[in-house]
A and B are shown apart, each in its own frame.
Chain A
């Protein structure tokens, strides 16, 4: 066996391939699961059980006419959809998958994730503005408002974990959970993080920026072909990132629950990360099938009047308890 080190070429290549493949699979899984949940079959034609649906979609999207509306701001219009998948992929760099598996080991890992998520928000905003379309404009504005607000609570909600883990480094946060998951002491932070994270990925029920029944397709109304596909891919990578971050921050990362560890720590880590991430992926798909989109002002009120005080309170109490215990 060769030694696995964070940042080795093998790690980088494997990570990139895994994220790309899983994100593509996710699209299929989501459509399939949603299909079953609504008494349909979902895509089942391409490959066994329709597993190659995303390949067919990509081929179709790439071969479609690459149309840039003549009335748009062309440079921004083309650049905007690139931002979100790149930012989301970069976030994966700091994600600790298992001991020795990962791309970067940054001591500001968590901040890096937030910075990238913040950058990702520009995709929808710029895409909406550059389209020069009224529906896209409304979508872009909604995206800007929603993501900037929810980023605030997302950041604050996670500070409790940082206090407990005593680090911004995601690996150290995971290692700090060796004896107990942070979800128990940080339950409020966890709930706020899941909701805010959902809003960050602009997924149902927080898809106000797309809001099909209101503003057609929101910020991506004018997009077609692979440029539209990139928004899509970005959204799914974002969902995958969120589903992986929740275990890392709250559910002990690669550590096995109930002592069910496999013999090899790396295999065990990979296995448990996979299970935990899958759980959250399915959770988000179920949420999409069940919940209703709130109105824009209700979303904002909920954020600033419920989530922000909750997360601040959580931070305050966590800090006080840790201080009291530390002395």
Chain B
């Protein structure tokens, strides 16, 4: 008898363990496109299940990678799923076991409340605030359940299906002086609301608005600092100034037309943002992309990693008070952008990946430009090492500053270079290779102390490794088509649609309407420039996504800044902010 055909044997181990522990009737299992274990659980049991996953399960699920919600009221295809108006989705991830699980909780309109997960994971704080802000779900026991992305005076919850998606669906907006005063008053920082006292026995504290416009704030973000002299006692980050509603826009766009929007999420990551999105859609559509596409995608993604890290490197040095490296880094970045431009036709937001491939084939002579770059760039990095990383003042300023250990990084859901700086050798490209990363030789740099210096050092070394990967792409670029000939590849190969009526019809449907795929759910994660970037999409059988959740590393990381910078001096605070390496567009989406 073949054990594999028995349904019990097919059950993933973690689901079996959960069934044994809580009883099979507690859960409803759901199947998804990427076959991630997905279980529905009742609101009363969810905290027990999550606690079990974190503390007792084998492997342990150390991090809450994501927490989000879905407004299910307009769904058409929900076969086999429990009745739900709003679904809260938990996505714990295990680093030791290298696996994920998705836990869903159904909530009914009129009783949108669920216990907070902050006692389990500190990182749940902002994600729950976001869910409250955008869906109106109440997390009982949350200390500051206030708006986070929308302004404090906003009416309604933006990601609900009944909330307008366009300004033209609303009354014309006029801002009178009165409204302006009211809005500004609403933004005033009140320490009491955050449990901060205005003075101690010995001194009166100063509350300093570090931003929204500050040279070292790297975009429009505000940190309200509680200062005793120059010592930072506490920090309250205030985000949302850059909120465009990308997730809402995704609900209005077709699968194909949303691609350029993804570019603007982490605007330093360029086409790297396209990658998880198109891979997720390809997963749903069942498209296998040609080898050449995979290598081209990897090559461009690594170019953008270099560009993003170079920007970090230069601005970090400037934030510490070193003037020159910024300019050198920008010169190199310019060279990389020239290559990107010659391949994609645009520099920062090429929007160049397509469902099933890339927009065009590589131009003639692409290898010459790249060969020059891979030979030139490592030498420059060595120079910067001498100038920046070996500089004794920089070492003094950043070693032992803003320290976090691996357990802390799990608690705050820090991923990417920040997690690797704590000494955990874990890279999505290595541990769960996607887009053919398993075929490349590269190392995963790790730090030791998890301080500002290590976070920077990890990024510097990553640039070297990226350069190595690009070199391998250059030497081993496979021949073949730049797009899959799958009917859902959008738009199809131009040459084919000229000759073949079937492809022409697909082209017409894909572009004028949109590709249609069977209803399912999919999650796709990549190792983006700043950490794990994840697209979680619910497909209800339409021409576009029913719900798109974009999990960005920057949003999660900013949350940890108060933890990292309490007790430091003001100058250290800028070092911590710089090594957090966030992009406001990535934070606010």
Which chain B residues have a beta carbon within 8 Å of chain A's beta carbons? 206, 208-209, 214-216, 230, 317-324, 326-328, 331, 387, 391, 393-394, 396-397, 569-574
**Which one of B209, B320, B387, B394 lies within 8 Å of A213 (CB-CB)?**
B320
Tell me, yes or no, whether A297 is within 8 Å of chain B by CB.
yes
Contact B323 A214 (CB under 8 A): no
Tell me, yes or no, whether A15 is within 8 Å of chain B by CB.
no
**A288 and B318 alpha carbons, distance in the complex (Å):** 12
Q: Which of A42-101 contact B (CB under 8 A)?
A: none
**Which one of B214, B317, B321 lies within 8 Å of A205 (CB-CB)?**
B321
The secondary-structure label for the interface of chain B is helix
Residues of B within 8 A of A215 (CB): 570
Beta-carbon nearest neighbor of A212 in chain B: B215
Residues of B within 8 A of A295 (CB): 396-397, 569, 571-572
**Which one of B214, B323, B571 lies within 8 Å of A204 (CB-CB)?**
B323
Contact B571 A290 (CB under 8 A): no
Contact A292 B327 (CB under 8 A): no
Residues of A within 8 A of B209 (CB): 134
**Which one of A40, A138, A216 lies within 8 Å of B230 (CB-CB)?**
A138
Known A-B contacts A134-B208, A138-B570; the reply to A292 vs B230 at CB < 8 A is no
Tell me, yes or no, whether A291 is within 8 Å of chain B by CB.
yes
Contact A39 B331 (CB under 8 A): yes
The secondary-structure label for the interface of chain A is helix
Contact B393 A289 (CB under 8 A): no
CB distance from B441 to the nearest CB of A (A): 32
Contact A292 B320 (CB under 8 A): yes
Tell me, yes or no, whether A34 is within 8 Å of chain B by CB.
yes
15 A-B pairs within 8 Å (CB atoms) are namely A34-B323, A38-B323, A38-B328, A39-B327, A134-B206, A138-B208, A204-B321, A207-B321, A211-B321, A213-B318, A213-B320, A214-B570, A292-B317, A293-B393, A298-B397
**A296 and B574 alpha carbons, distance in the complex (Å):** 13
Beta-carbon nearest neighbor of B401 in chain A: A295
Contact B214 A216 (CB under 8 A): yes
Residues of B within 8 A of A293 (CB): 320-322, 393, 571
**A289 and B573 alpha carbons, distance in the complex (Å):** 23
Beta-carbon nearest neighbor of B214 in chain A: A216
Contact B215 A292 (CB under 8 A): no
Tell me, yes or no, whether A317 is within 8 Å of chain B by CB.
no
**A207 and B397 alpha carbons, distance in the complex (Å):** 16
Residues of B within 8 A of A292 (CB): 317, 320-322, 391, 393-394, 397
Known A134-B208, A292-B321; further 13 A-B contacts with Cβ < 8 A: A38-B328, A39-B327, A211-B571, A212-B216, A213-B215, A213-B216, A214-B216, A214-B571, A289-B324, A295-B571, A295-B572, A296-B569, A298-B396
Beta-carbon nearest neighbor of A290 in chain B: B324
**A207 and B209 alpha carbons, distance in the complex (Å):** 22
Contact A213 B321 (CB under 8 A): yes
CB distance from B107 to the nearest CB of A (A): 44
**A130 and B386 alpha carbons, distance in the complex (Å):** 42
**A166 and B402 alpha carbons, distance in the complex (Å):** 52
